[in-house]
A and B are shown apart, each in its own frame.
Chain A
């Protein structure tokens, strides 16, 4: 008997196309795995079983009629719950949108479906993507499949956990300051934040419009590349004026050797005091693996990295305040009953609809944009943004990718990080990338000798060189596998044999 989670996305798609198994059987296996595993993981906010089976049946009918199937035919995919998918709710893990039925489908979701994917459900997240642990979900926490006492990271914690637990093959997340890469790292899966503009944001509930980017999480670089092909097929999205044309050629050169390519390291960051010893070991292994694959290591500099967190926590909350202003209880979402005036209804709907972190960020944004202080915070933050972008430009003139930690530590225990600023500080290595708009990927590089938790390394690349970045990530994955530190397609051991038989 095969188990769903033993197959890669490409194997599922080719198996469905060849008739080795049907899309419906795959969908049932995914739903069965969720049945067996998700009570513990709690990765999902909504499992869309009917929609999944309906879509899978349609895929099978297409095949029966002799039609050519898409590259993701029958592949079970989960979507972060800030992505609209008609037929499901889009709650952003907030009371504000509890029960909110998606009135339309996001472009990124639509493109996964167009490639033949089966929509399994919507995954848990930090409320409106504000957070790094998924603990700020208004509904329930998500547990790390590698250790149920630990967080899965965030804000795309549900997506990372669902993939790590083998419930789905691929999940989409969104990354505003590390929200794909950090949970991917915590859960031992591959997570790509594409270059800003590579993937359409249309239909994804906005947090920070100039920072947000949708990307895939999978159990191998190969699966992530296939998902990227689907996400950019169709070209520039006319519904997102910040989106760009990107060729769907992420798989073509994935296995090419990286001999002679240059990987930059920043000594000051690689030895940053905040980095835990096991993460340091993972980084050393990653560096060695890349060198063994023929890449040249070279030192580069990102001199304004230290200002990235400050700039991010000005730009992000400012945009969040603005984007979340529409949640006033008038047209949709939570509406305070029995209010006497419009002002009272607006105020109380927002007071009772939003959780603490969502309120904190909006209040911060409202302050930062106010006319008295705009020139002291928002304006300089944008200047810092220019400096950081320039830093990257200079660095990428000297290398093809930069090797960095994803987070200073492996996944922490629930309740361990309570202070918001402490949690913000953990974004140190991911945030500058969103500010500059470049691409970055989190790749598993082994497990912690101390805790057994997954270790990951981050590779960052120049804008719109995402395919090249994945090629480097694949080389890293190969090198790590060769060393026997981590195998692609690995499912968190505690769940690998529970349900999901095909």
Chain B
């Protein structure tokens, strides 16, 4: 099989994504009061409604509607005041009513878009000239969103006795209805993506957006965010639409990228060999690094969709939509550009903080304490304490101040950050308690430097003979003499002065 860059020189890929996101931030299911949990023992969060028992009726979760409207606003969708739930019928035990409650032709959110910025190093997969690239090779493209609709998740099935939990060869199949009825939003893009990298970046951007909204934990690993990819290819320069295949089991950013890359190459090989691509659903096998056929679609399934008579049509008020709009926080893109232009952060630090809602919150609180130190605060967040779990804005600001006054080395700052993480201790106090404060008092440091220069005669001679590296040894001796409390930068400066450079 040819490699992707070679394939993409001759072929253009047309990719669309369907992304399901569980609204894990909610406490209860879509149509009943059962609790949402990924960890509860099987079939403990169930009731007549989500078990589809005879006579039970659905009642929509208002908070879930708020979440999807927020998602729509954040992705530039038109919020439809009037929409309906539909019933989508299929017989399978994971859907307790044998129909899924979902939406019909009109979803809560329609016709949105997300602008994708593809950085230089990731732009290499797109060789064509249909996008305008910046001098460094990066480019931006708008990706249209067809719709975001609300639906309920199915139960989880566990197949026992078959290989790798698959149904084939299984002795028995167990059903856990805890997940049944979990509020799910499905976003469908238009087929505007052209490379696996764009698909990956779109998914990442969407994840960051939803995380910022606080509607889901967006865990690909735990399946709270799931992605199916549709891909077809066509000869570069042509406008036709090839037969598409649908990709399942893309449960990591890498799988999403690699499965699409594999599939594009596979389709190219089929077509170049004179064959036809079949419309089918394929399963990504990360271990074999390939896609395999799950099922072939010969006829369209008839789901007998019709409006759910148990759920009255929605008529969202301006007040409701306005309330949702007011709850949409500043999104990562806006944050990033504000960090760059107003706070003077580096591109890298701004990226790192803007896309992580927790980090952004701590960062902004710390900046509120000491705005002039914003870049240093960012430095603390990104480089000093990147793995801190519960560091507070006060602690971050305090660390930044210690660094600003040269009272702490970077290495020491990391140590202190680790010590205060999860406590309410002030780094200033810790530094003093452990006697870590770097002295920046020249009057204290100068005599130490003089002593060291007097003692280390041979090293001084080496320095004078051109071995400049030996300065490190001399700084070390100064630090040792100061019992670690002297500022190494100052020692360095004083040594150089006294050595007469």
Interface, chain A (partner B; CB < 8 A): 82-84, 90, 92, 97, 100, 103-104, 106, 201-206, 208-210, 238-242, 318-319, 321-322, 325-328, 330-332, 342, 346, 366, 369-371, 374, 378
Contacts and interface: CB of A to CB of B under 8 A. Distances in A.
A137 B132 CA distance: 72
A204 B91 contact: no
Contact of A370 (B53, B59, B302, B310): B302
B93 interface: yes
Given A100-B54, A321-B304, 15 more contacts: A92-B54, A201-B57, A238-B59, A239-B59, A241-B57, A241-B310, A241-B312, A242-B312, A322-B99, A327-B54, A331-B51, A331-B93, A342-B93, A366-B304, A369-B89
B98 A202 contact: no
A205 B57 CA distance: 10
A103 B93 contact: no
Nearest to B58: A241
A231 to B, nearest CB: 16
B270 interface: no
Nearest to A202: B57
A371 B304 contact: yes
Contacts of A346: 91
A325 B55 CA distance: 13
A209 B99 CA distance: 15
Contact of A203 (B55, B60, B91, B97): B55
Interface in B205-236: none
Contacts of A326: 52, 54, 96-98
A9 B180 CA distance: 44
Give the most central of B56, B99, B311, B312: most A CB within 10 Å: B56
Interface string B58-77: 11100000000000000000
Give the most central of B54, B59, B91, B97: most A CB within 10 Å: B54
A99 to B, nearest CB: 13
Contact of B55 (A106, A208, A331, A371): A106
Nearest to A104: B48
A371 B57 contact: no
Contact of B52 (A318, A331, A370): A331
Nearest to B300: A371
B310 A203 contact: no
A499 to B, nearest CB: 33
Interface size on B, as a range, is 20 to 34
A41 B373 CA distance: 89
A206 B311 CA distance: 14
Contacts of B306: 318, 322, 369, 374, 378
B437 interface: no
A322 B101 CA distance: 11
19 contacts: A90-B54, A103-B53, A201-B57, A202-B57, A204-B55, A209-B310, A239-B59, A241-B57, A241-B59, A242-B311, A319-B309, A321-B304, A322-B304, A325-B99, A326-B54, A342-B93, A342-B173, A366-B304, A370-B304
B48 A103 contact: yes
Contacts of B175: 330
Interface string B83-98: 0000101010100111
Contacts of B87: 322
A369 B304 contact: yes
Q: What 9 A-B pairs are tightest by C-beta distance, nearest first?
A: A325-B98, A210-B309, A209-B309, A369-B304, A205-B54, A203-B55, A326-B52, A330-B93, A326-B97
Contacts, number: 95
Contacts of B311: 241-242
A206 B53 CA distance: 11
A238 B59 CA distance: 8
Contacts of A332: 53-54
Give the most central of B58, B59, B96, B311: most A CB within 10 Å: B59
Contact of A84 (B54, B302, B304, B309): B54
Contacts of A203: 48, 55-56
A210 B307 CA distance: 11
Interface string B301-326: 01011100111100000000000000
A327 B309 CA distance: 19
A202 B56 contact: yes
Nearest to A367: B304
A205 B91 contact: no
Give the most central of B91, B300, B311: most A CB within 10 Å: B91
Contacts of A204: 55
Interface string B405-420: 0000000000000000
A370 B99 CA distance: 14
Contacts of B56: 202-203
Contacts of A83: 55
Interface in B275-311: 300, 302, 304-306, 309-311
Contacts of B53: 103-104, 331-332
Nearest to A206: B55
B436 to A, nearest CB: 60
A274 B99 CA distance: 40
A184 B363 CA distance: 72
B218 to A, nearest CB: 29
Interface in B140-198: 173, 175
A243 B90 CA distance: 28
A60 B470 CA distance: 101
A204 B305 CA distance: 24
B65 to A, nearest CB: 12
B52 A322 contact: no
A354 B127 CA distance: 62
Nearest to A319: B309
Contact of A202 (B55, B60, B89): B55
Contacts of A366: 304
Contacts of A239: 57, 59
A392 to B, nearest CB: 19
A193 B59 CA distance: 24
B368 to A, nearest CB: 43
A319 B309 CA distance: 8
A318 B51 CA distance: 22
Contacts of B304: 321-322, 366, 369-371, 374
A205 B98 CA distance: 15
Contacts of A371: 300, 302, 304
A342 B90 CA distance: 13
A330 B53 CA distance: 11
Nearest to B93: A330
Interface in B237-285: none
Given A104-B48, A205-B55, A240-B57, A325 B93 contact: no
A332 B55 CA distance: 13
Contacts of B310: 206, 209, 241-242
Contacts of B91: 325, 328, 346
Give the most central of B89, B98, B305: most A CB within 10 Å: B98
A322 B57 contact: no
B309 to A, nearest CB: 4
Nearest to B301: A371
Interface string B354-390: 0000000000000000000000000000000000000
A331 to B, nearest CB: 6
A370 B58 CA distance: 24
A364 to B, nearest CB: 12
A327 to B, nearest CB: 8
Give the most central of A238, A369, A374: most B CB within 10 Å: A369
Contacts of A370: 302, 304
Contacts of B60: 241
